[in-house]
């Protein structure tokens, strides 16, 4: 539904938003998990939580920086909430092109900062994100560390688009095998998001940022997706900086497959891997 050639960036934005908003994707919550709207640091959010919650998960949604509907994440984030007895905070951060870079990373950092200032124990805090949200997860961690904020327990990056400045080999190698994205779409959405801003700015391309002192990372990607090499590069940069990084790679999976928790058996299996990583993580 997403992958096609676009005549213009405006056409691409309209198409992506139509698909992301209208796709027939389940948006149910697991039994015992409720949702309510909240506001953190001026950013509208949803809070998914069971009756009792110990952990806090800040999940930053995907959508190529221009779309993404929070209800799409109810099954995946609701499952994490139930399995981990955690509250999951889903920020509805500002989107390009109406709100270009750095609106999205500013909003995500503001929510993270507010969670810390409200007394959330960093040892009980997790940051996760998929696709563009994986980019924002890494950027949030780097900016929070630079600001002197404490690091969370760990972070989960699902098919992160970590470098908008580069041209990874997998962009071209997997242009046909990736059933959702293409190298043309990745470049085009980067242009819509950055709108002329320096592509090497680590807040937009966090692969180029500093990895020292970051919490343990779990990074997933499909062998067939265009963003495969971003996952490998993030793991390599993290390990070179002394940061623990675990890769979760699968063949024959779509981009950001763990998010399709209700529909894909591999996603259900990998939910166990993700939740076990979070439970065992220590920073």
Using one digit for the tens of pLDDT, what is the confidence trace for 150-190?
Answer: 999 999 999 999 999 877 899 899 999 998 888 888 988 99
Are 154 and 216 spatial neighbours (Cβ–Cβ below 8 Å)? yes
Eight-class DSSP state of 44 = E
Task: Measure Cα distances from 147 to 8, 154, 156, 202, 213 in Å.
Answer: 38, 18, 21, 14, 13
Is pTM beyond 0.75? Reply is yes
**Annotated catalytic residue: which of 59, 61, 128, 131?**
131
Sorting pLDDT into bands at 50, 70 and 90, what band is 214? very high
Residue 255 among the catalytic residues: yes
pLDDT given at position 25 = 66
Angle between helices 132-146 and 103-117 (to 10 degrees): 60
Give which of 140, 141, 165 is closest to 233, Cα–Cα: 165
pLDDT given at position 23 = 62
- Residue 8's SS3 state is coil
pLDDT given at position 167 = 78
Dihedral angle at the C-alpha atoms of 33, 278, 153, 163, nearest 10 degrees?
Answer: -100
Residue 173 among the catalytic residues: no
- 1 has pLDDT over 90: no
Average confidence (pLDDT) over 242-260: 96
Average confidence (pLDDT) over 107-131: 98
Q: Is 135 exposed, middle or buried (0-12, 13-18, 19+ CB in 10 A)?
A: buried
pLDDT given at position 202 = 96
What average pLDDT does the structure give for the chain? Answer: 93
For the chain, give the percent of residues with pLDDT over 70: 96
Sorting pLDDT into bands at 50, 70 and 90, what band is 269? very high
Residue 205 among the catalytic residues: no
């Amino acid at each position: 539904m997403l992958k096609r050639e676009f005549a213009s960036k405006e056409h691409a934005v309209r198409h992506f938003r139509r698909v992301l908003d209208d796709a027939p994707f389940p948006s149910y919550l697991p039994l015992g998990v409720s949702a309510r709207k909240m506001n953190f640091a001026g950013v509208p959010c949803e809070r998914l939580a069971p009756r009792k919650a110990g952990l806090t998960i800040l999940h930053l949604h995907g959508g190529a920086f221009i779309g993404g509907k929070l209800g799409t994440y109810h099954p995946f984030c609701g499952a994490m909430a139930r399995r981990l007895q955690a509250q999951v905070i889903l920020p509805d951060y500002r989107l390009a092109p109406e709100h270009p870079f750095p609106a999205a990373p500013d909003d995500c950092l503001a929510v993270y900062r507010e969670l810390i200032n409200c007394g959330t124990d960093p040892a009980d805090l997790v940051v996760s994100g998929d696709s563009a949200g994986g980019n924002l997860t890494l950027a949030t961690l780097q900016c929070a560390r630079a600001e002197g904020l404490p690091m969370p327990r760990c972070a989960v990056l699902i098919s992160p688009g970590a470098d908008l400045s580069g041209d990874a080999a997998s962009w071209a190698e997997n242009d046909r095998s990736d059933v959702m994205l293409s190298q043309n779409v990745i470049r085009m959405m980067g242009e819509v998001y950055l709108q002329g801003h320096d592509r090497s700015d680590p807040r937009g391309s966090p692969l180029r940022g500093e990895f020292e002192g970051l919490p343990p990372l779990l990074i997933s990607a499909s062998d067939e997706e265009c963003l495969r090499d971003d996952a490998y590069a993030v793991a390599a940069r993290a390990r070179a900086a002394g940061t623990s990084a675990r890769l979760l790679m699968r063949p024959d999976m779509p981009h950001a497959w763990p998010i399709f928790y209700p529909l894909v058996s591999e996603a259900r299996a990998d939910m166990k891997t993700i939740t076990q990583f979070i439970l065992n993580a220590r920073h």
